[in-house]
């Protein structure tokens, strides 16, 4: 079995344990993400376990999609013996570009995963152009 030992990663992990794993408003923690293209849309999934759906905030401005979420501390009912789960503010920004139809972005949240569906803009979809011949050829654009 092959094991990968990264001393810097271990040092980062120990620092996180000592300082705390909380994101702040000034310095939010990152959230893991997967993204892919599916037919005529981009799909992005972000891991936000334990986050209340009401604390998730999505904004699109000037071609940048910002995802922010807050996972608060557990209620003071119990004295924690271990506190390893990340808490605080999480944020991620995605530069969308002109190929995304920002008016029709949708989001759903299920079992700790935020799924964003970003449709490809009509102007960015491929299309076939018919070549006409003759002196009075009419120009047509055909769907791909």
Alpha-carbon span 95 to 81, nearest angstrom? 40
**In a domain? residue 115:** yes
- Is 97 contained in some domain? yes
- Residue by residue, pLDDT tens for the chain (144 residues) are 455 566 666 666 566 555 555 666 656 677 899 999 988 899 999 999 989 999 999 999 988 999 999 988 776 677 878 877 788 889 999 998 888 898 999 999 999 999 999 998 877 677 788 888 877 766 566 666
Residue 70, H or E segment? strand 64-71
**Helix (H), strand (E) at residue 128:** strand 127-130
Q: Decide if 26 is inside a domain.
A: yes
Task: Extract the tokens encoding 126.
Answer: 């491929």
CATH number, domain containing residue 50:
2.60.40.790
Q: Residue 21 has what pLDDT?
A: 53
Give the pLDDT confidence score for residue 116 in this predicted structure.
97
Predicted pLDDT of residue 27:
64
110 located within any domain: yes
Position 93 in a domain: yes
CA–CA dist 103, 106 (Å, integer): 9
Do 21 and 87 contact (CB within 8 A), yes or no? yes
Instruction: Tell me how far apart the alpha carbons of residues 144 and 129 are, in angstroms, rounded to a whole number.
Output: 9
> Residue 18 carries which DSSP code?
H
Q: What is the pLDDT of residue 1?
A: 44
- Whether the full predicted model's pTM is greater than 0.85, yes or no, is no
Within a domain: 122: yes
Asked, for residue 138, whether it belongs to a domain, the answer is yes
9 domain residue, yes or no = no
* Domain span holding position 49: 22-72+86-143
In total, how many domains does the chain have?
1
């Amino acid at each position: 079995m092959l094991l990968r030992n990264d001393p810097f990663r271990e040092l980062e992990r120990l620092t996180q344990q000592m300082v705390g794993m909380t994101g702040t408003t000034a310095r939010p923690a990152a959230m893991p993400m997967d993204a892919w293209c599916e037919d005529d849309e981009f799909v992005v999934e972000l891991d936000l376990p334990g986050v209340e759906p009401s604390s998730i905030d999505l904004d699109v401005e000037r071609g940048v999609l910002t995802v922010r979420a807050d996972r608060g501390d557990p209620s003071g009912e119990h004295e924690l013996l271990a506190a390893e789960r990340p808490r605080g503010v999480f944020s991620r920004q995605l530069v969308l570009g002109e190929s995304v139809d920002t008016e029709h972005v949708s989001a759903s949240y299920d079992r700790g995963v935020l799924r964003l569906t970003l449709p490809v803009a009509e102007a960015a979809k491929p299309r076939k152009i018919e070549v006409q011949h003759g002196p009075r050829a009419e120009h047509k654009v055909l769907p791909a």
